[in-house]
């Protein structure tokens, strides 16, 4: 029986190519489809505005810029998201501290748990 978490269309925002590929591979193994990727804030903002996605995974730091404006757009569109970070969750501004965070490097089980939390926060689980 397929998990309710499978088959989601995902936006991946990550500025490190190897990490992005790893996330894409993990998502594929979990039964999700990566429909868009961005490595820069401007790309991520455009994709957050226009992409038809069910979920987003956001690297907190994109080349020295925060991805929190992307999270704000996703919130407006009611699209679940989670952060991937090498930083502590306290590095996030208060409105985003509730969001699930996976600490890099992370395992597939941690990603699965964070996806479940993100979807549940929006009633999409």
Question: Model confidence over 108-118: pLDDT tens digits?
Answer: 999 999 999 99
Instruction: Give the pLDDT mean for 90-99.
Output: 85
pLDDT at residue 3 is higher than 70: no
The pLDDT confidence band at residue 4, using thresholds 50, 70 and 90, is low
| Beta pairing partners, 10 | 34, 55
Bridge partners for 23 per DSSP: none
pLDDT-derived band at 91 (thresholds 50, 70, 90) equals confident
**Rounded CA gap, 10 and 14, in Å?**
13
DSSP assignment of 40-87, as one string? SHHHHHHHHHH---SEEEEESEETTEESHHHHHHHHHTT--EEEEESS
Taking the C-alpha atoms of residue 95 and residue 109, their distance in angstroms, rounded to an integer, is 26
pLDDT band (50, 70, 90) for residue 9: very high
CATH superfamily of the domain spanning 9-121: Response regulator (3.40.50.2300)
Question: Cβ of 9: how many Cβ atoms within 10 Å?
Answer: 15
pTM exceeds 0.85 for this model: yes
Whether 30 contacts 55, CB under 8 Å: no
Is residue 102 within 8 A of residue 83, CB to CB? The reply is: yes
Domain boundaries, the chain: 9-121
């Amino acid at each position: 029986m397929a998990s309710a978490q499978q088959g989601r269309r995902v936006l991946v925002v990550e500025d490190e190519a190897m990490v992005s590929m790893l996330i894409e591979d993990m998502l594929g193994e979990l039964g999700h489809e990566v429909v868009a990727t961005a490595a820069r804030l401007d790309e991520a903002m455009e994709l957050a505005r226009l992409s038809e996605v069910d979920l987003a995974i956001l690297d907190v730091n994109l080349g020295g810029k925060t991805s929190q404006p992307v999270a704000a757009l996703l919130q407006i569109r009611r699209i679940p998201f989670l952060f991937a970070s090498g930083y502590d969750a306290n590095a996030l501004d208060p409105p985003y501290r509730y969001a699930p965070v996976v600490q890099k490097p992370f395992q597939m089980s941690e990603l699965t748990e964070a996806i479940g939390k993100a979807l549940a926060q929006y009633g999409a689980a």
